Amino acid sequence: MTNITLPDGKTIRFEKPVTGSQVAEKISKSLAKQALIMSVNGELKDLYHIIKEDSSVKIITAKDPEGLEVIRHDAAHIMAMAVQELYPGTQVTIGPVIENGFYYDFARKEPFTSEDLNKIEKRMSEIVDKDVKTKREVWEREKAINHFKKIGEKYKAEIIEGIPKNEELSIYHHGETWHDLCRGPHLESSGKIGKAFKLTKVSGAYWRGDSKNEMLQRIYGTGWANQKDLDTYLKRIEEAEKRDHRKLGKEMNLFHFREESPGSVFWHEKGWSLFQKLVDYMRDRQKKAGYKEINTPEILDRSLWEKSGHWDKFGEHMYTSTTPDEKVFAIKPMNCPGCVQVFNQGLKSYRDLPLKMSEFGKVHRYEPSGALHGLMRVRAFTQDDAHIFCTEEQITEESLSVTNLILDIYKDLGFKNVILKYSDRPEIRVGDDKVWDKSEAALLKAVKATKLEYTINKGEGAFYGPKIEFVLRDAIGRDWQCGTLQVDLNLPERLGATFVDKDGSKKVPVMLHRALFGSLERFIGILIENYAGKLPFWISPLQIVVIPVSDEFDKYASEVVGKLRNVGLNCEVDLKNHNLNYKIREHSLSKVPVLLICGKKEVDSDSVTIRELDNKKQENMKLKDFIKKYSALNQASLN
RNA sequence: GCCCUUGUAGCUCAGCUGGUAGAGCAAUUGAUUUGUAAUCAAUAGGUCCGCGGUUCGAGUCCGUGCGGGGGCACCA
């Protein structure tokens, strides 16, 4: 007698032990058809697993996240099977499920080409059609190791050797010819995978993820429950490609990169205008929040970096320069040591704290060539940096005020969806554990006070203190880590920063590092992708183009531009010998938010006709009203 | 840094197995004077990423360097 309790609380009674398939069959024919795997007392099992005792069982279909995962996992297996059929001698390693799909890492001398991918995909399809049965076996450890060694799968053998001795080793057979070591569960047969998968790319990947090991070939695939989901996913990828800031940056004439300085931006007039607009805005916000802006040298003597600890901990990422007199300088990769030097000038009292010093510091970091990626990962960038010198007691309050400022600024720029990542002490760290206790608690208190969603990343703090990272979600659901707030229990002491406390004794202040955008360059990349290039009016580098209907109205159009420039709007007049349609198309494609059309009607009535981007409706307005309305829109606070 | 891939006009790209470069758009000039997403025509435009090699001959094949792209590793 086996009692099976279903998720809705109902119990089905079976005379004998049963399989998941039998349970599903009992519930309904359609469920039996859709069933992929099952969960028995919370453990995922194959459908053909025999349940011997009373259990609560949930039949899992493609609608459940676990179901989709199994589809992907099986697709990975079938891919490996197809690869080994097509390319004998290829060794398999690991093949997990990942977000949106799966991959499998192979060891093979010859590289896989994109044609190979097509072939493999086709073979996978054939295997699905054949609907080969899956069979699970439990093997004895030595047998498994010897077996895989014998058939030349040294990576598999190595994996098994690393599995704890008390763990059960299951081998899954797919059809008569292919098998793999796997924890499972798996689908009953290959037909259940369906055809909603696609191999997407090949790449290199280190064995066990360690760059000291040999490089394997990884084939990525995406897999879904049905064709519709696959299509939706592929569409989303396409949409992301359309928004690529590298493409848009070129099209919109914002910036370029070139061989002479990989990873450094050549800002064009329009891109720089956007950059400056953000800086102006930040300056204004920080001033109002009580920050004092400073600026420190780009090049500083080696000795300072040795004192700060950067030379040791960050040396391989630093650009250095030796002067003709053999002195070694480093180009700053961070602003903090410079800022502490400014703090150290003059005697500071507890009355000066918290002291907030901001700096738009340009830093250089020698990033590995393979890491570079448009504006998102560069070797030279500008931080909207600030350092807050305060007492331990002030950590929570200051952190909270930084957090509020960040959230408010993100909101102004159109990002309302923000989550926090809190990281506490890492294994290797400096400072007394008691101080860590205090600063972690203080920072966590601030995190909780925001009432925002947050994750705790254990042990991922900086070696000098705990930190919060601000992750914003963009218009198409991608997460970007931007701002950061770090408590520093180390640097002020190393660089001899002190203040005179109430009792007259000298104390070392706590330092908070914070950046809101993180890197201006990167943030601009995120902005471009978030808005697909259609930036909000107030930061748009070219806000308005005035178009005369014919050259008869060139003079009026030029006058309008003059007046708009006078109130600080970025605008151009288009006097080219093209017709109106052509100009509207051209400027719309280059994403100018507002076009003003001027013809006889407008000249006669001292007005302009407004056409906003992506809005075919036109509106005629007196020029002075237009100026009033749009110069107001030019302020962030009104957006 | 590592694996794969890629580099042709300002831009997007074509150029089969080696035989001295081609299109569309942009630019320039001329015509047209246009009322809401491409008016017509003509002209000009190239160290085919750099260096070396094979060859009678290299954009094309080989080697190497640099850059770009996709991943891996890295992101203090």
Structure confidence by residue, pLDDT tens digits, A415-427: 999 999 999 988 8
**Residue A429: pLDDT band with limits 50, 70, 90:** confident
Cα A590–chain centre separation: 27
**Residue A562: pLDDT band with limits 50, 70, 90:** very high
Rounded CA separation A136/A182 (Å): 9
Average pLDDT over residues A391-399: 93
Task: Exactly one of A182, A336, A339, A482 is catalytic; name it.
Answer: A336
Average pLDDT, chain A: 93
Residue A332 to residues A154, A266, A313, A469, Cα–Cα distance (Å)? 47, 20, 14, 22
Rounded CA separation A304/A495 (Å): 8
Residue A462: nearest nucleotide (C-alpha to C1'): B76
Average pLDDT over residues A105-127: 92
User: Is A515 a residue whose pLDDT tops 90?
Assistant: yes
User: Is A639 a residue whose pLDDT tops 60?
Assistant: no
pLDDT for res A358: 97
Active-site annotation holds for A467: yes
pLDDT for res A270: 93
Rounded CA separation A63/A226 (Å): 10
pLDDT for res A636: 65
Q: Extract the runs of DSSP E, i.e. beta strands, from A257-333.
A: 266-267, 292-293, 299-301, 320-322, 328-331
User: Is A337 a residue whose pLDDT tops 90?
Assistant: yes
pLDDT for res A462: 86
pLDDT for res A115: 85
User: Is A26 a residue whose pLDDT tops 90?
Assistant: no
Q: Which of A216-230, A283-297, A335-349, A445-459 has the lowest mean pLDDT?
A: A445-459
Active-site annotation holds for A486: no
CA-based nearest residue to A608, from A538, A536, A543, A549: A549
**Residue A184: pLDDT band with limits 50, 70, 90:** confident
pLDDT for res A585: 94
A419 CA – B25 C1', rounded, Å: 44
Residue A70, H or E segment: helix A65-86
Average pLDDT over residues A323-351: 95
User: Is A638 a residue whose pLDDT tops 60?
Assistant: no
Report the DSSP pairing between strands A2-5 and A55-60: parallel
The burial of A490, by beta-carbon neighbours within 10 Å (0-12 exposed, 13-18 middle, 19 or more buried), is given as buried
Q: What is the ipTM of this complex?
A: 0.94
A588 CA – B28 C1', rounded, Å: 24
User: Is A364 a residue whose pLDDT tops 60?
Assistant: yes
Active-site annotation holds for A387: yes
pLDDT for res A231: 94
pLDDT for res A598: 96
Tens-place pLDDT, residues A611-628: 999 988 999 999 999 999
A34 CA – B69 C1', rounded, Å: 41
**Residue A637: pLDDT band with limits 50, 70, 90:** low
pLDDT for res A460: 87
Active-site annotation holds for A383: yes
Residue A214: nearest nucleotide (C-alpha to C1'): B2
Residue A554: nearest nucleotide (C-alpha to C1'): B33
A59 DSSP β-pair partners: A38
pLDDT for res A632: 93
